[in-house]
Amino acid sequence: MAARLKEMYDKQIKSDLKNKFKYKTVMQVPKIEKVVVNVGVGDAHSNSNKLKATIEELAIITGQAPLKTVAKKSIANFKIREGMELGAKVTLRGDKMYEFLDRMINFALPRVRDFKGISLKSFDNFGNYNFSIMEQVIFPEINFDKVDNIYGINITIVTSAKTKEESKALLDGFGMPFKEK
């Protein structure tokens, strides 16, 4: 069974974008290529249990095993040495990507306290969208009683769009809750 957002993209969003931006072929229509979910654990080098718990929670949220991220360079002021484990990341593609976006847009983001939408200023010049969530407990998969520490999650949505306008129209089609101007 295909993901709900993928079916919605194939049946409705693709044709809407083609008509709106006057593309000649369907292959020109932008699509979401991948979603990267990244968590940095500041004191992971001194507390390995914190990193382990973060990796387990990230696996529950995304449905995929995270990859540990390591320091590329030593930074003396932060007491970081080259090769130290600093966090975790997951790159989602295909059906898992669409399932994660569906849960995030329809369940997790509305659970944020005083939520007014996500910023329109987070698009880069290549059509990608990058934003952060301040607490991992907004995801319904996380059992709040078992959470030891609260941490933020950075989410990057990589699209094949060439401009910010195309990327915003694509994410609007999926129902991304942007702030009103």
Tell me whether residue 180 is in a domain: no
Please check whether residue 34 is in contact with residue 96, taking contact to mean a CB–CB distance below 8 angstroms.
no
Residue 90 has a pLDDT of 94
Tell me the DSSP string of 116-157: --B-STTB-TTS-EEEEES-GGGSTTS-GGG------EEEEE
Write out the residue range of the structural domain in which residue 35 sits.
4-12+31-174
Residue type, 163: T
Radius of gyration of the chain (CA): 18
Residue 146 has a pLDDT of 79
Residue 1 has a pLDDT of 52
How many structural domains is the chain composed of?
Answer: 1
Question: Which pTM value belongs to this model?
Answer: 0.87
Tell me whether residue 22 is in a domain: no
Tell me whether residue 23 is in a domain: no
Tell me whether residue 20 is in a domain: no
Residue 2 has a pLDDT of 64
- Residue ranges of the chain with per-residue pLDDT less than 70: 1-2, 44-46, 181
Tell me whether residue 17 is in a domain: no
Question: In angstroms, rounded to a whole number, what is the distance separating the alpha carbons of residues 66 and 57?
Answer: 10
Which domain CATH number covers 59? 3.30.1440.10
Tell me whether residue 155 is in a domain: yes
Residues in the chain, total: 181
Tell me whether residue 179 is in a domain: no
Tell me whether residue 169 is in a domain: yes
